[in-house]
Structure 1
Amino acid sequence: MVMHSGYSGPYIKKIEASAGSGKTYRLTLEYLKLIISNFSNLRRPSSEYDETKRRMLGSILAVTFTNKAADEMKQRIIENLKKLARLRRKHAELSAQRGLQPVSETILKDLITETGIPLTEIVNTADDVLLSIFLLYSDFNVKTIDSLMSSIIQAVSPELGLHPDYSTSIDKTEELENFCNEFLESVTENRWDTLERTLNELLSMGSVRTRAVDSVIKSSLIQFYTQSLKYDILPDKMQANTSRLNSSYEIFSSSVKQFYNFVTSPDISPFTAKNKLRSKTLTKLYNICLGNTYSKELVEPIFGSSLFSYRNIDNGYTFFKTNTPEEIKANGLHLLSELIGTLSTLVYEMSIHEVSGFSILFADFINAWNTRKKRTIYVDEQSNLLRGKLLHWSEQTKYFAEQDRVPYLYIKMSDRFLSFLFDEFQDTSEMQFKALSPFIDEVFSSSEKSSMLAVGDRKQAIYRWRGGASRLLTKASLIKEIPSFDTSNFYEENLDTNYRSLYEIVDFNNNFWAPENISASAPEAIADLIADNFKHSRQKCGRSIIEQGQSPNTAGKPCGYVEITGSTEKDEDDNLLLMFIGQSIEKLVKAGYSYDDIAVLVRKNEDVCNIVEYLAQIGIETVSDESLSLSSCNIINEIVAFMKFLEYPPDDLNFLTFITGRIFNAAAGNNFNDSRIFVGRKRPLYKYFRKNYAAFWDKYIKQFFKSAGLLPPYDFFQDLTSVFRLYENFSESTPFLLKFGDVLHSLEKEGCTSFSAFFDVWKKHLSGTLKYSIDSPHSGNRVKVGTMHKAKGLEFPAVILPIKNYRSSNKNIFLKDGKFYYITQRYTNVSRELAKIYRDEIAQEYIDDLNLLYVAFTRAKETLLIPMVSKPSAARGSALSKPKGLYELVYSNPYISSNIETTGDRFSFKRGILKKGETGTAKIPETLNILSKSRLTAEWEKRFLVFHSKDMPQESLAAERGRKTHEILSHLGVFETEEKYRNTVMRLAVLYGLNKAEMGKLLNYVLQKQIVSFFVGNFSYFNEKELIKYDRGAYQTKRADRLNIFSDRITVIDYKTGGESKEEHKRQVREYMDILIHIYRDKKLEGFLLYTDLFEIETVN
């Protein structure tokens, strides 16, 4: 029997691994311990030696959450085995350690300590293990839990009744939506009463605010179907019992009458306290006494009265005056207690009845979906399918015992696996683990060598929406799911050293996430649950370069930096937050960071898009998942547009997209990059092009047009790359072109051999249900922008974390233990059961938000900047309320609120020194988007010249202001709305360093009606447009600051300062107009001078 660091017999070990604490290292170490221990016990040689090695290698199952994590763990295992194996070829015993890398030294020491195996035997065994992995790679079981479930389903597909040709798929969106449409059509025709009842319920709850009620019902069915996959839910339990509701009401009504008659009787009434038993309350009770049948309108009015809260029973509430005889008090409180009890029961039944129509409809939908003919098994359904079969087998236990046989799956699993390693256990689906736990339990009951390691961090549980259940990471849950396990062999460990972040970041997180601080930001009713979730949040710093007892800032050494800045002036102002992000990047660059040291993490994908767009406008290159998507590449989009045109030639839009795009014009000499040549032409436009530009048609389009419908997409793409020299002309898009070719080739293997079939796939890609992206480039100097969810497991030298509030969903329908409930806060006042359901969900929503924030707070290695925008609310109350957003969770934390410094509408919190450490490599950006020479000069002046504005002459201040205004205007395009125009001007003003007064003057100037018309509307424009003039036998180049091309006129605009003669300025504009009048003979010409230092407008005739 293998011994593991003092563990003997079947054991379970749970490790809570906080951020940066070496979770992957521990998993790698555990795997190496097991495999080396197993291999070292093998007898060499033997007749079954090779087969035994196969069994030993295959007996360890490591389960990860993502493919990326599985690949990383495999890589870590193989790399460390290689480093250990090298020692076999070097000096023996301890002298060989000198040749090891630091990681391997640590691994080697830990392996010796944990296994008790001598060094020489470890390195010899490592060589043997490494060779076995290469020869028996299919038995190297490091895989995702989804792929594990798929392999189990495949092994028992006959027992599950699956079609012999079944397939597995990830995305079922299209089939589920189509099935839902068919289901609702069937219900409309055959069971209209059920559908009508559901509609009325949704209307009364305010869930329907659109005419498209069918889409509301469809989205609700799909939403709760997805949620139901996380739990053991039987649809037949969802049927509401109307008779139970009526019975509850009769009992409640009787209690009301008794209580009302008692408190209004002449003998009792004088003793009641009128401020606690108001006349309005008595009137509401009287109305209930008059009614004989259940009526929601009669019952709901009393919910708001504190008199009928179930909490009164617990708190000894009284509604009598102090001089009331004790006997009267006792009788009255007894009647009140009975009334509250019957009301609580009634409200519970009301909560179920309110959504009974939807419950019935949902149960029918689930049954119809589950009984459909299945040719495809979806990944998120696998655990439920397997779990259902296991429940059936459990019922047949007696039969199996009588027949002296066990289900085949139990035999196969218990024979194959001995050790189970789970990564990111806090995000493991509860249903998936319930499907696996019987197998693990069987292994534990049949082998003394079995073991299980669960590594995770409840603070980083951010996938509850996918079924993740962090409660599995507790001793009670694990023992419940694996009943044969001996509880005396359960071990727990907390990894509390952070090897990722510098001192100030670790110290900041220790204070922010301290249970007493983080629970203070939540309602008191759930504070204990919040505190428990973060009880293991405190960490030691494993990267600190300072000695114990020294000041963190000793000798100016990099010790980390944390800064929170924000504004309380505007509520959720996205534009202001974008400006703060730009300023944060500039601050980091000045401190020595390069762009690729910096990551901006946000909550939603739409925020990623907004930030990428904004940073592009101010000249900062970025990389994000969105920018790596195939659909983000314009060259790929032009190819798809060309394919759509070939599939349907009258499609003028896609034809124009391709003909006026970069691909065609790179080949055709930029002759067709202006779509105006097609304006007013007879449609379809391709016929006009074929007739009037026959040479171009024949050379570039004809062969594709003739082969349309004959060539599969991959062959078409290969011909296209050759004809248009895509790789030569667009080398910057090579990764996208290669990936696009790979996708087409893979789809062809799957039977996608037509354009129309490809368009279906591309549609899914655009919707996000299928993702095709290039690998993240390792070169290039770009700011990383991504979501907090996708940043999990990653680390960056500097992190910018913009914070704002997000509106929480107005959720009133809850799914619990196979039943739907309609719950509002008023319902929770009178029902203890509903209050617990509501409280648990609110607590989970808070924990979800806080866990996501924890993940984001712990990604930084050196510097963490947190810009925030939103108005903080008042202090928390005791009532249960949904979280208002990440801003509130940060701002209301006592550690932050007690240490911020406020100036006007700005506040800040700072810890440490902003100084680049050793983890990044400072460098000048490889691609600088230089706005202009004058802008570059201004940056040089700002960096190297020191002066005060009070010492500068007013003329120079005006010239400087005019230069900045000139630069801002020169970067403006055409905007759809005045608001977008104004916001862009503000962003650029912040970038160019205008103070508040200067920005106010600028806005007053550029928002004048006439100037707005130069930038807002529907027209073409050119900035810095070169004009050619032939004069005295030579060509002269002129440059106008801006040209606006309208349907009936041309507007020439030049930006000036007042230093030169105004007449000279007018002469220059007239010269531009003289050139243009020969080009645009049918248009009116007008000219304007904008004096950016004086804020004046001059018309030029």
Structure 2
Amino acid sequence: DAMGVAPDSDVIAALLNDASLIQSLRDYADLLIRNSPTPEGKNAAAGRQLHATLDTRDATQTCFGAVCGALLTAAGELRKHSSGKSSIQRLGAEDDARFLALHAQLGERLLQARGWLAAQRVYQFNADALAIGDALLAHYQRLKHARRVLDFADVEWQVARLLSNSDQAEYLQFKLDARYRHILLDEFQDTNPLQWRVLQSWFGAAANADRMPTIFLVGDPKQSIYRFRGAEAGLFSLARDYLVEHGAACLQQNATRRSAPPIMHAVNQNFGRVAAAYPLFQPHTAHDSGRTGRVEIVPLAQFPQPAELTPDGYRNPLTTPFQDADTQVREIEAQRLVQRLQQIIGQWIVDDEKTGARPAEYRDVMILVRNRTHLAVYERALKAARIPYASTRSGGLLDTLEIGDLMSLLGFLVTPFIDLDLARALRSPLFDYSDAELLQLTTCPGDSLWQRLRSLTADASPKLTRAARLLSDWLALAGRLPVHDLLDRIYFSAEVPARYATAAPDALRPGIAANLDSFMELALTLSGGRYPSLPRFLHELAELQAGGDASSPDLGKTAQLSNAVSIHTIHGAKGLEAPIVWLLDAGPHRPRTANYASLTSWRAGAERPEHFSLYGDKTLRAEFQAAFFEAEAHHAQRENFNLLYVAMTRARQALIVSGSASSVRQDDWHGQILAALTDQSDATECSLGDDLSLQPYTLLPGTHHAAALPIALPANLHQLAAVGCRTIPVNNAQINYGVLLHAILERIAPPAAAPAATLLRQQLGHPEDFDSALAHARRLLASPQLAAFFDPARYHFARNEMPYLTADGEARRIDRVVRLDDALWILDYKSGDDASDTQLQQRHRAQLDEYRAAMAQAYPNLSVRCGIVRGDGRLLEVV
């Protein structure tokens, strides 16, 4: 009945065998010819074509399409004809009116027939797809049964059957009533109809037995963002009404304890403008009205200028790289992200529940995206800026530099004559060849790079001989060992983890180490691990890489980083919060449309779905599905509002919104928020709230070590006599100045993000000698003799106050460790010591020798050198 036609009826034959309809079509064709301004005009040609089609008609799709072509456009809409002075002159008033009437009537008949044909196509598509789907599910169920496992859908369905329709329902309901008297249902807005059916069965039986448990239901329909998993936000209202009928109290809370007032102002302004389309929202208030906060709307990143074309209109691929506009514009947004983060970290003040106000750290920042499509662009920018981050992006392992190096090495072991693979392996941290060394190698005799490497004489450099020896060993093993065992030999003999850790910035080391471990694990899990050959392993890796992130193995899982930016999708961030939230890629988007999916209408409280069907592209959608598509669009709009609400309310103190320009004008969160805050349609940026970089702060009481309090001992407890006494070190000005200078150097020496002088003074407790100590520290950083140790362009990495443990488990700290090209340097600041150079060397040699031994164990392949930095900026090496 909903289709309006029988699934097996011949719509075209019934239409074209209707004599009255055919006569009307002929009359329409005659009038169409007469209504043409010229004999060769479009109307005349269409009329003659319609006559020819009717003369040779048969009940085929081709004939039906030709008839439709005379009255309908290619888009399936009725062609436009209207009455006018010229048409009345050509046809006469009576025939002009009849022509328009026939055009409308015949067009309606043809559109109806097209709708019936579409309904039959959709019906047949559903019949075929559901039959295949049913067979697939049956096979899946048999497989689970054979393995004695259940998935979550099985659990839901079986529990619903047990509590609703089974012989054991009353017994199970009684057992639940006897065991649970108090029930807390959290995040109820994400409940699906089947889950509510389970709860209804339980609660209904309990109410009938006068044993209704205490129920505490918590939820927020504005945070319902999992409709794709079957969640139905309408169940919240239904459950609320059900519980109120049983005596429950309904409490509403629109005051937030999380977000600062400026963020709540932005939320209220944004959703207040769309109140008619989003009735769920009510104005919010901030519980802590005095908390500082900030909202920034960054201008949209604009498309860069297109690449220059050659005179013939083509791009020269040898000189001009291909520019993907979508990627380029997001790279611009990503650069703005890292630049702003570098300004925020160490400069803004955030509220910490444990320590009180303190400078912002990387761990205070949460980046949110709608989807993972462009996440790799933002990650590359963070990595290039050496900003530590923890991401939830799927795939990507095979696209990392370190895994690409290993794949090139394995490719060389399969085909030693491929120079490019060997060149990449030699250039990697595995062998650490420079460009000059590679070019020098090409001048040696031999037809391939490998032959040239093997032809080296015995007096070649240790680096070259090491590479030749290791590669020869691995080539001998490549055809005999399983892939995992071969990689294990490579990792051990080439010191792979240690070499990559040495070459990588501190922020990237955990991720690189995890990726190396994941690649080793992949060699065990892919195709049975020990059985595939090395060529087969590389072939499967190539197939995974070609499949994109959806097929590629995930990046290695790092241990929870103590200080790193976190990256989440908005769905993944549900329930999380952060002092600073950056909503990326919030500009205009073209909403995703599923070409093949299911269409379900399951009203809240109904026992079963009202409608269920499958649909495809536009040719596989029918009129009887239109109302359900409209309802689905309404739900999608509401969930889009919910998604933005969840994103904005993750922020405690600061919310930053950015995006990229787009040719579409749909789903523009950036523009929506900007218009709400500025009340201007042409605004490009805005900010509101407090300047977080200028807020004074103090640590909460208890965050410093408190003085020991005397404890009253029992009178009958024998007290031991005191042995020795604790002495207080002399607190002279020279010692205080040295401690202050150390503290300033720790905070301003690269790679530290040097805070403003005002903030630094606050951090150090407003010391008296601050100005002179800060000037002294800056002179040391600018000393020409020390430039190699403080200029980031001249060293590989540097660490201030580097901690380590001695063999006895005691904690030690080194003032500064710097990796140069030729050595690892340990620097010890002795700015206030008046001793001579020789005395200073003798006095601190034992201490520096201990530092040297510790770093030599951590970096066994580097030469470790020690130096004392004197107050006048001179470096005194201790050997």
TM-score range (shorter-chain normalised) is 0.5 to 0.7
Distance 2:367 2:621 in 1: 42
Which deviations, in whole Å up to 9, do the C-alpha atoms of 1:541-573 show, x marking residues without a partner? 012217xxxxxxxxxxx3433435347888974
| Shift in Å, 1:410 | 7.6
Match of 1:457 in 2: 220
Distance 2:271 2:436 in 1: 60
Match of 1:914 in 2: 691
Match of 1:536 in 2: 281
SS in 2 for 1:474: helix
Match of 1:509 in 2: 267
SS in 2 for 1:853: helix
Distance 2:519 2:208 in 1: 47
Q: Could you tell me which amino acid in structure 2 is paired with residue 475 of structure 1? A: L
Residues 1:499 and 2:246 are matched in the alignment = no
**Matched-pair contact (CA < 8 Å) for 1:505–1:863:** yes
Residues 1:243 and 2:8 are matched in the alignment = yes
| Shift in Å, 1:737 | 3.5
SS in 2 for 1:495: coil
| Shift in Å, 1:503 | 0.7
Which deviations, in whole Å up to 9, do the C-alpha atoms of 1:173-193 show, x marking residues without a partner? xxxxxxxxxxxxxxxxxxxxx
Match of 1:474 in 2: 237
**Matched-pair contact (CA < 8 Å) for 2:367–2:583:** yes
Residues 364/911 of structure 1: CA separation in 2 closer, same or farther (3 Å cut): same
**Matched-pair contact (CA < 8 Å) for 1:584–1:865:** no
Cα RMSD (Å) of the superposition?
6.4
Equivalent of residue 422 in structure 2, options 645, 652, 656: 656
SS in 1 for 2:422: helix
Residues 910/390 of structure 1: CA separation in 2 closer, same or farther (3 Å cut): closer
**Matched-pair contact (CA < 8 Å) for 1:544–1:559:** no
| Shift in Å, 1:677 | 3.4
Match of 2:588 in 1: 805
Residues 1:624 and 2:391 are matched in the alignment = yes
Residues 439/545 of structure 1: CA separation in 2 closer, same or farther (3 Å cut): same
Equivalent of residue 563 in structure 1, options 297, 301, 305: 297
| Shift in Å, 1:773 | 3.3
Match of 1:382 in 2: 151
Distance 2:172 2:17 in 1: 53
| Shift in Å, 1:506 | 0.2
| Shift in Å, 1:429 | 5.5
SS in 2 for 1:367: helix
Distance 2:696 2:575 in 1: 21
Residues 796/384 of structure 1: CA separation in 2 closer, same or farther (3 Å cut): closer
TM-score (norm 2): 0.52
Distance 2:47 2:176 in 1: 67
| Shift in Å, 1:885 | 3.6
Distance 2:299 2:332 in 1: 12
- Structure 1, unaligned runs of 5 or more: 1-236, 267-277, 310-333, 480-484, 520-527, 547-557, 874-883, 937-969, 972-1025, 1027-1101
Residues 569/390 of structure 1: CA separation in 2 closer, same or farther (3 Å cut): closer
Match of 1:866 in 2: 657
Aligned residues: 609
| Shift in Å, 1:713 | 3.4
| Shift in Å, 1:499 | 1.5
Q: Could you tell me which amino acid in structure 2 is paired with residue 843 of structure 1? A: H
More helix by share: 1
SS in 1 for 2:278: helix
Distance 2:207 2:541 in 1: 45
**Matched-pair contact (CA < 8 Å) for 1:598–1:796:** yes
**Matched-pair contact (CA < 8 Å) for 1:249–1:294:** no
Residues 250/861 of structure 1: CA separation in 2 closer, same or farther (3 Å cut): same
**Matched-pair contact (CA < 8 Å) for 1:660–1:673:** no
Match of 1:1080 in 2: none
Residues 506/665 of structure 1: CA separation in 2 closer, same or farther (3 Å cut): same
Equivalent of residue 754 in structure 1, options 530, 535, 550: 530
Residues 444/861 of structure 1: CA separation in 2 closer, same or farther (3 Å cut): same
Residues 1:839 and 2:630 are matched in the alignment = yes
Which deviations, in whole Å up to 9, do the C-alpha atoms of 1:672-699 show, x marking residues without a partner? 9738737995579499759987765556
| Shift in Å, 1:787 | 3.5
Distance 1:258 1:394 in 2: 64
| Shift in Å, 1:539 | 1.4
Match of 1:713 in 2: 484
**Matched-pair contact (CA < 8 Å) for 2:263–2:653:** yes
Distance 2:197 2:419 in 1: 53
Distance 2:294 2:516 in 1: 42
Match of 1:820 in 2: 614
Match of 1:168 in 2: none
**Matched-pair contact (CA < 8 Å) for 2:263–2:654:** yes
Which deviations, in whole Å up to 9, do the C-alpha atoms of 1:856-911 show, x marking residues without a partner? 222222222323443798xxxxxxxxxx5432673498625724664xxxx23332
Distance 1:787 1:747 in 2: 30
| Shift in Å, 1:359 | 3.4
Q: Could you tell me which amino acid in structure 2 is paired with residue 246 of structure 1? A: V
Residues 355-434 of structure 1 correspond to what in structure 2 (within 5 A)? 355=122, 358-372=125-139, 374-375=142-143, 382-385=151-154, 400=167, 421-428=184-191
SS in 2 for 1:531: coil
**Matched-pair contact (CA < 8 Å) for 1:663–1:726:** no
Distance 2:411 2:436 in 1: 19
| Shift in Å, 1:342 | 8.1
Match of 1:614 in 2: 381
**Matched-pair contact (CA < 8 Å) for 1:638–1:657:** no
Q: Could you tell me which amino acid in structure 2 is paired with residue 820 of structure 1? A: L
**Matched-pair contact (CA < 8 Å) for 1:252–1:339:** no
Residues 115-264 of structure 1 correspond to what in structure 2 (within 5 A)? 242-244=7-9, 246=11
SS in 2 for 1:886: coil
Which deviations, in whole Å up to 9, do the C-alpha atoms of 1:136-190 show, x marking residues without a partner? xxxxxxxxxxxxxxxxxxxxxxxxxxxxxxxxxxxxxxxxxxxxxxxxxxxxxxx
Q: Could you tell me which amino acid in structure 2 is paired with residue 815 of structure 1? A: S
Q: Could you tell me which amino acid in structure 2 is paired with residue 601 of structure 1? A: L
Residues 652/473 of structure 1: CA separation in 2 closer, same or farther (3 Å cut): farther
SS in 2 for 1:601: strand
Which deviations, in whole Å up to 9, do the C-alpha atoms of 1:276-304 show, x marking residues without a partner? xx999999999999989585635685598
**Matched-pair contact (CA < 8 Å) for 2:259–2:652:** yes
**Matched-pair contact (CA < 8 Å) for 1:901–1:909:** no
Q: Could you tell me which amino acid in structure 2 is paired with residue 805 of structure 1? A: P
Residues 918/429 of structure 1: CA separation in 2 closer, same or farther (3 Å cut): farther
Larger Rg: 2
Match of 1:1054 in 2: none
The 10-residue stretch of structure 1 (252-261 or 416-425) with the greater mean CA deviation from structure 2: 252-261
Match of 1:488 in 2: 246
Residues 801/294 of structure 1: CA separation in 2 closer, same or farther (3 Å cut): same
Distance 2:24 2:529 in 1: 77
Q: Could you tell me which amino acid in structure 2 is paired with residue 808 of structure 1? A: P
Q: Could you tell me which amino acid in structure 2 is paired with residue 448 of structure 1? A: R
Residues 107-122 of structure 1 correspond to what in structure 2 (within 5 A)? none
Distance 1:715 1:814 in 2: 45
Distance 1:628 1:728 in 2: 25
**Matched-pair contact (CA < 8 Å) for 1:419–1:450:** yes
| Shift in Å, 1:511 | 1.5
Match of 1:88 in 2: none
TM-score (norm 1): 0.43
Distance 2:72 2:384 in 1: 57
